[in-house]
Structure 1
């Protein structure tokens, strides 16, 4: 097994390509957007957190440096009620082995620096390659057919094509469909805010009608997001909402709260973008004879646990190890799924649970306020977070077959 065709040049696809390159497997990335400048264009304004486990996955293939160079750290989370009362504080879990903790970065920047690092290593990324169909030939070769009329062949096809993955549907036509979480996530950037939040801290506000989070970047700008209950909208309708309309809507949602949320939103200019919240907690079938899925194509988390990017990075490195050591695609795919499924589904369920906990409403708010300090005490312990951010991959440890993997679970 020496060649791989990767569908999707986002976080999952690019990290997978670099990990395969390190494993001695030639991988070509096929990205639907027409040019490198369009990296992450669908959500250029959004930002995300790369957690300690994601950074350590990148460190495994020595690809963490560019991410550290273009991101910033935050050390704590403050939880605030709609009345302005501080409910508690907890540290953001870092690396138990001395590495960096979580980092905040714009999604488009993350995609760009990963692609640049991949190109520096000699990984080929072809743009304007939107997959139309894929099939496995009688000799076991997988063939991808693209909208521009091109075709590509390889030993395996890896679907890193996101939430609405065509690869997932090709593997299993009855596969899981994304579930709308009932919330829209809106991101924005503000400056010249009176009394900005403390640096090195994420401020999380449980508003009466929506949830708000923000942090102060090194240049003094405020990076914020809001999770607001809303009916599902088609992407085109969501994109058509103007920044002015978002400011009006969101300031109205936080107007009755005695917090800084409404003021920060009101001080924001045109840098506002929104996405619908979706998840896929479990996908029954991850692979076929020569195709497999990674990242959001296999498991999509609601944004509340801030783990989507990090899990995608883990996936890419683990899959590359499995293909390196087991060589036969079916054996490698089975071992990869055995190593990953339980973890990613647990994270997806936890993120969905966090989304429910932060939903507005007097009953939920009263329950949350009464139990949050106790939950914070529990979360502050290392054991409570080790399973999430303490996950590590040993690149030099050989991967065992599926039977051995399942025997340890």
Structure 2
């Protein structure tokens, strides 16, 4: 069996690795002219690290990234509202969380694949599935064929558009600035992340160590969609006035050229992810706001799941139906929960003190269940250990209900 993957980001490359390890040949097509170390930081959370360990990549990622032990959600002055004991998650699941530069993660994944399997400068403009083979056409006039095609081409997926037409995105009401900041992190804070919630609607500042002297910083604020400014620093410094002096001290070290601004969108739940021999995964299937730090992590779960399904089912269309049945309920829950958190951040200032009190009063049993819903990936291994005969075919055209 030979396949095509459209998109050379984290989801596409991880999927290629997972398929390669199962003896399924794939070619990856990326529209960018080259795959470079760009981007800011991201979190490889407990669930992603478990899956990456199954692929033999977890230790390399721990060495490349920066392991965290604790996380705090705080009031504007730094008073803790909620605490995440990452060490406890590590003891429970075998892995904690690793903060890593997105570009370095992408390079690590890229280096795990044969160079002749990666093709850049390939922007998809057409896709045809004749029931036996899938043929794709790129903007440069070249074509490719395979037994199946996987769209891992992001929130504005060309593959999704070919399958299902235009799917409107949903604006969160927030814009976000992200960047890396060179900053001497105190020794006692080098494994601790902070997310400061401000009183103004939509306002947060996240500060995450990605090294002994470097921080990943993100700032969200309420904003109409499509607003932009030539310079980000004046806005960030103005927003920093709402927080503790330590937050302002970090934001004052931000360099304009290292800040990226983007409005935050998600993708409303799709009825289905696949059609025939073509499926989508990651942001192309279930783009989420970043409030749970799960965008890349969910794509990594997808990668393992779709590879397991293709290895266990001879026909790609059946494999993709099983993939959707396995993964869609959890992915849809993540999108909803992340959006709910974003809506809480969007609460008016007068309501925030009450919200902080409620967040700090959540019983541990409830937060443990919420963590398990996000970080437990044992359902993937149960599938792996179950014979094909125990999974009845899913009727064509059906889809798993939203959980």
Partner of 1:198: 189
Equivalent positions of 1:10-159 (< 5 A) are 10-37=9-36, 44-92=38-86, 94-95=89-90, 99-119=94-114, 124-137=117-130, 140-159=132-151
For residues 151-201 of structure 1, give each alpha carbon's deviation from its aligned partner in whole angstroms, at most 9, with x where no partner exists.
Answer: 000010111111001111111125x32212111121123345697982211
Partner SS for 1:267 = coil
How far did residue 62 of structure 1 move?
1.8
Equivalent positions of 1:363-382 (< 5 A) are 363-375=350-362, 377-378=364-365, 380-381=367-368
Label 1:95 to 1:89 Cα distance change in 2 as closer, same or farther (>3 A).
closer
Residue 209 (structure 2) pairs with residue 222 (structure 1): no
For residues 191-229 of structure 1, give each alpha carbon's deviation from its aligned partner in whole angstroms, at most 9, with x where no partner exists.
Answer: 456979822111111112310110233322232111111
Partner of 1:172: 164
Label 1:406 to 1:130 Cα distance change in 2 as closer, same or farther (>3 A).
closer
Alpha carbons 2:190, 2:212 under 8 Å: kept: no
How far did residue 365 of structure 1 move?
0.6
Alpha carbons 1:160, 1:296 under 8 Å: kept: yes
How far did residue 45 of structure 1 move?
3.6
Partner SS for 2:160 = helix
The root-mean-square deviation of aligned C-alpha atoms, in Å, is 2.5
Alpha carbons 1:48, 1:104 under 8 Å: kept: yes
Which of 257, 266, 270 is equivalent to 2:243? 257
Alpha carbons 1:136, 1:142 under 8 Å: kept: yes
Cα distance in 2 for residues equivalent to 1:355 and 1:227 = 10
Cα distance in 2 for residues equivalent to 1:88 and 1:5 = 43
Partner of 1:332: 319
For residues 328-370 of structure 1, give each alpha carbon's deviation from its aligned partner in whole angstroms, at most 9, with x where no partner exists.
Answer: 1221111111101111000110100111112252233122122
Which of 333, 337, 340 is equivalent to 1:350? 337
Label 1:335 to 1:100 Cα distance change in 2 as closer, same or farther (>3 A).
same
How far did residue 34 of structure 1 move?
1.1
Cα distance in 2 for residues equivalent to 1:155 and 1:216 = 43
Cα distance in 1 for residues equivalent to 2:189 and 2:51 = 29
Alignment TM-score, normalising by the size of structure 2: 0.89
How far did residue 98 of structure 1 move?
5.5
Alpha carbons 2:185, 2:212 under 8 Å: kept: no
Residue 176 (structure 2) pairs with residue 185 (structure 1): yes
- For structure 1, which runs of at least 5 residues remain unmatched after alignment? none
Cα distance in 2 for residues equivalent to 1:289 and 1:192 = 50
How far did residue 295 of structure 1 move?
0.5
Partner SS for 2:275 = coil
Cα distance in 2 for residues equivalent to 1:107 and 1:195 = 24
Partner of 2:3: 4
Partner SS for 1:375 = coil
Label 1:57 to 1:144 Cα distance change in 2 as closer, same or farther (>3 A).
same
Partner SS for 1:298 = helix
Label 1:79 to 1:398 Cα distance change in 2 as closer, same or farther (>3 A).
same
Cα distance in 2 for residues equivalent to 1:87 and 1:207 = 12
Cα distance in 2 for residues equivalent to 1:195 and 1:314 = 34
For residues 258-287 of structure 1, give each alpha carbon's deviation from its aligned partner in whole angstroms, at most 9, with x where no partner exists.
Answer: 452222111222321122211114111211
Cα distance in 1 for residues equivalent to 2:82 and 2:320 = 43
Partner of 1:310: 297
